[in-house]
Structure formats: structure tokens, C-alpha cells
Structure 1
Amino acid sequence: MHATRTMDATPRRRDPLGPLRRRLLTAVSGDPDGAPVWVRALEQGDDAGYFVEDGAAWTVHEGPATFVAGIRALLLQALHPGPLAGVHDWSRYRDDPLGRLSGTVRWILCLTYGSTTQADAETARVARFHTRVAGTYVDGHGAGRDYTASDPGLSDWVHLAFTDAFLTCHETWGRGIPGGPDAYVAEWALAGRFMGVEHPPTSRAELHARLDDYLARGELRGDERVHDVVRFLRRPPFHGRRIGLGYRLLFASAVATIPRRYRRLLGVRRSPLPVVTTTRVGLVLIERALNSGGPRANERARVRLRRLESEDPEALGA
């Protein structure tokens, strides 16, 4: 008599997006499941946080266009020699690019979706690191200057470049913004104030005027240090051919959204290929991969909000 082999009547389904999801989550959170301690903590806390549920900041920061926005923000930020000196002298981006990326993402998501306690703690963590950041740099006019990470003038440019990058990329590839682009700029001004910006812009027109004023005053420069950063951002040391090809598409799309006056300083050109349209397809794939896993940051924040509503319907203005 031959032994019969028992077969599982419900074979495990293959997840074709699993490898992509794990690589993306490792990049943005440092965890292949996308659930490090700080992400899980978004479900905790005793208040709604600083930003309204499904408001402008929630909407812009939950979309896949943030993958392009992060690259665009770093490119623009590199044009000011002060912040660039801080990155060059103190950042570990060459040795651990994913670690630096996940650290930045952590601050954005905790501030956007966390309780005020979590957001304040995360802002304090970043501030503690910044207390060590100081040095000298040569400004756009060739004069030597001292810098610290707490310098409001340098924080101002970083905030402007970040806000413009995330707004522009969402308008290019995302859905509508509740309240429009001015609502996002006004909401995210709070983040600027947390990082020492004295008078962050509160409208898209003011944001663009402030950016162009830096260029008109000659405070931006494109030198060999800038070009070195561009070369690194064009081809960072990511493992895997598919990830590398996908990243280069995102980089090309980030460049395509930057106005020519800034591209000249960066020494980059728009690709002749339809990268913006192709990226739209790629971002749909990224969003599907992320949605096929566990709860994302905004969903974990909703867990906290629904809990607070059930405990006290008045707490959130219900």
C-alpha cells in the first residue's frame, strides 16, 4: 500500500508586490513590515495632533508622490551653501542613505499624523541632533560665514524647498488638496515654526516669491559641492537592478518639475522622455504595493482618533 500525500486544500497565494513593498517600507521606515515602534505609536496618544484628519497636510503626505518630492526637496536644498555645508559636514547620507531617509520620513509622519506628545518628542529628537551641527561655509557672494542648524535663515530655505517640493509633486501626480494649495502651505507653516523659521509663508504665491527672492539676492550657488550631491542623488547605492531603474525614473521626474532657473544651478536637464507620465504609472504601482501590506501611518492615526471619539465624543469636536 502506498502512502497518500495530504495536500493543503487552500494553497498560499503568492504576493507579487511583496518584495517591492518590503523594499519601500525598509527605505521609508527602516523596517520591512513598515511597523517600527514609532509607527505603531501613531495609534497612541490623548489628542488629535497638530493637523486635522484628511486635511491638506494629511492628504499631501499620504500620497506616493512623496517619493519624488523627497528627491526634489534634497536637490533644491542643496542650492543654498549654508544647509549644504551642514549636510556635507555632519550628515551620514553617503554611508547610510536609507537611514537618513527613514529619519526624515519619521519626523514628517510623526508630526503629520501623531499626537501632540509624539510630534513634540520627535521634533525634540531632531533638535537634539541639530545642536551639534555648526561650522563655516562660503556664501553665494564668496564671503565666509559661520553656520548653525538653528540659524533661522538657513532653516527658512530648507522649509521653503521642502514645502515647494511636496506641494508641486502632489499637484503633478496626486489628487485634489482640501482647501487647495494655499491650505497646505498654511498648515505646514507650523512645521517651519517648529524648526525655527520665524515667518514661514502661508500661501503658494508667497512661497514661490520667497524662493525666487533667494535666487535674486544671489544667495544660491551651483558649485562642485552641489554637483557632487547631484551625482550622488542621481545614482545612490541602492541594491537591486529594478529598484535602481525605478529610482532613476523618480529622479528624472523630480528634475522635470524643477523650474529651469534652478536646474541651471544644479547642472541638470529635463529628460526628453515622457518621465512625468511614466512616473504616474509607477506611482500607482507603489501605492498598490504599500496598500497591500499592513496599516499605513494615516490609518494608524485613524485608530487613535476613533478611540478618542469613542471615549469622549466631544474631544475631537464630534
Structure 2
Amino acid sequence: MTWQMHGDPMMWVAGIRALYLQALHPRAVRGVMQNSDFRHDAWGRLMRTADFVGTTTYGTTEAAEKAGARVRKIHTMLRATDPDTGESYGVDEPDLLLWVHCAEIDSYLQVARRSGFRLTDAQADRYIAEHRVSARLVGLDPDSVPANRTELAAYFAKVRPELAATPEARAVDDFLLHPPTHPLLIPAREVLWRRVAHLAYAALPPYAHELYGRPAPKPSTVTRRLRLTGTVLRCVPARLRWQLPPKHILRAMARLGPGSRPAPYKLGPQVAILDRPGEGGTR
């Protein structure tokens, strides 16, 4: 499921949704803001995140394990401080890692399905279960990570009272609406980027809109916009889209052969060519 889904262009919109959602956990977002020059190296941070997801999806097992080891090592050296209590804590606390993981996976799944990427409920559950591997790579016990939609929904219901739109969350919101860019590119940012950011924000669950205090269109309207955006982006030839850094998909295809190309049709039922008449099976 992951191999096919992560080749879809709507993953970029999903990634922005994940940032909005992740920022609503006070301790998690504080760990980011206190340990990185987010505003001045935001694009670098986003690309490093994209590189990690691409490596764990399309890289070799060795590359994925090395990427996970690097992340775990960095996390062990970082701490944050609660400004209200003075408490110091590590950013690698399991509860924080779990929140970041679940917000990311939920965003990928929600945006993909609502934008027209067809997945059955069973396939959606399999996608969530597959990411217990990526959870292990960042230092989580796979058995503590939701393995299906029911467990993921229960997790969000449990953590919901802890969420809040803190000053750090509002700083992330402001950045996502007004990311730093070259003065000559500001018009393009206002026309293109803001539309993507607004769509990603609109795709959040209603409770997130309430916390941020900014309204969003009705869910049915958001779904229509996601479908329209997905339709337009999927018209861009995949090989052209995959030329953008970090090119993990093209490298995977070069390593494994053209048959490894991610494609949504591979998730649907297919009749095996070698089956005798009347004995077609699904793949």
C-alpha cells in the first residue's frame, strides 16, 4: 500500500496537513521550535522530512535502517523546556514520537482517499499497519502503534484533550501561510502556495479548525476541492513529477526494474494472465 500511495502527488498536500496537525500538540511542537531554526531553514527541514519518507518507502532496507538510526541519534541529543513549569524533557519521548507518527499517517491516508485515490477499508488498514515499520525506525515499539483505522481513531480520541493552539502552533500556522521566499517569488507564493496551504488546512478534522480559530468550508466542499486538485496534479506525467528531488522513486525503479513503478491500478483486482478461463484470481 505504501509503495503505491506515496508516489501520488497529493502526498505533498498531505504533508502540509500533517504539519498543521502535529503543531497542535504543545509538547511536540515546542520540541521542534526550541531545537531548530524553523523559519530560516524551513525548506531544508521539509526536504529532509521528504527525504526520510522517500528513503523508508523506496530505499533499500539498509538505507532505511541507516536513516532511522540517524533520526534516533539526533533525537536523543535534543531536549525542550516547558515555559510554564520549567520541566525539561526529551523530544524522543514515546508519546511525542507517537503523536508525530499518527498525525502523519492519518494525513496521508485522509488526503489520499478524499482526493480520489481509491483504497478499500481493508487496504487502508493495511497501509496503517505497514507503518509500524517506519514507527520502529524512529524509536517506537511497533506494538504500541495503531495498526488499523479503528485503533487510529481511538488514539486521536484519547489524545484530543491534550491538544491546543499554543503560540508555537500559531507560529507554524503563520509560517505555512507566509513561508519565506525570494521577493520575486512572492506573487507566485500568494497565488499557488497559499491555495495549497489553505486546502491542507481545510482538510484537517473539525476539532483542529476549532483550536486554530479559523473556519473552513464544509467537509463536502473540501472533498470536492481535494478531488479537483488530485485530478489536476495526476494529469502531470508521473516521470516528470518524480524528477523533483529527492528522486527516490526513479532510483527505486532503476534498481528494481520498470515493473516496480508505483501505480494506483495495481491496488485493484486483476485477473491473472496465466489462469485458465473462469479461474481468474485477484492480485
TM class by shorter chain equals 0.7 to 0.9
- Structure 2 partner of 1:190: 133
Q: Share of identical aligned residues, percent? A: 31
Q: 1:265 deviation in Å? A: 1.4
- Separation (CA, whole Å) in 1 of partners of 2:18 and 2:197: 11
State the secondary structure of the residue aligned to 2:82.
strand
> C-alpha displacement at 1:220, in angstroms?
1.5
Confirm whether residue 277 of structure 1 aligns to residue 224 of structure 2.
yes
**Can you list the C-alpha shifts for 1:244-276, whole angstroms capped at 9, x where unaligned?**
322211212212221211221122220479565
Amino acid at match of 2:224: T
Give, in whole Å, the separation in 2 of the partners of 1:197 and 1:74.
20
What is the RMSD computed on CA atoms of the aligned residues?
2.6
Which one of the candidate residues 232, 235, 260 is aligned to 2:206? 260
> Partner of 1:115 in structure 2?
60
Count of paired positions = 249
Query: How far apart, in 1, do the equivalents of 2:192 and 2:178 lie?
Result: 11
- Specify the code of the residue in structure 2 equivalent to 1:253: L
- Greater shift, 121-130 or 86-95, is seen at 121-130
Q: Who wins on radius of gyration, i.e. which is larger?
A: 1
* Distance in 2 separating the partners of 1:289 and 1:98: 25
SS of 2:107's equivalent in the other structure is helix
CA 1:290 to 1:144, structure 2 compared with 1: closer, same or farther past 3 Å? farther
Shift, 1:129, TM fit: 2.3
What TM-score, normalized by structure 1, do the two folds share? 0.71
CA distance in 2, matches of 1:303, 1:290: 15
TM-score between the two structures when normalised by the length of structure 2:
0.79
Match of 1:175 among 109, 117, 128: 117
Q: 1:122 to 1:174 in 2, by over 3 A?
A: farther
Deviations 1:278-316 (A, max 9, x none): 454444444416533665533421322239x9xxxxxxx
**Residue correspondence of structure 1 range 13-162 to structure 2 within 5 A:** 56-137=1-82, 145-162=87-104
Once residues 293 and 152 of structure 1 are traced to their aligned partners in structure 2, the CA distance between those partners, rounded to angstroms, is 35
**Do the aligned partners of 1:163 and 1:185 also contact (CA within 8 Å) in 2?**
yes
Q: CA contact under 8 A between 2:115 and 2:229: conserved in structure 1?
A: no
- Structure 1 ranges of 4+ moved more than 3 A: 142-145, 271-287, 293-296
> Structure 1's 143 and 180: CA in aligned 2 closer, same or farther, altered over 3 A?
farther
Once residues 286 and 98 of structure 1 are traced to their aligned partners in structure 2, the CA distance between those partners, rounded to angstroms, is 21
Corresponding position of 2:178:
235
Q: Which moved more, 1:142-151 or 1:206-215?
A: 142-151
**1:301 equivalent in alignment to 2:246:** no
Identify the residue that residue 274 of structure 2 maps to in structure 1.
none
Deviation at 1:233, TM superposition (A): 1.3
Any stretches of 5+ residues in structure 1 without a counterpart?
Answer: 1-55, 310-318
What residue number does 1:205 align with? 150
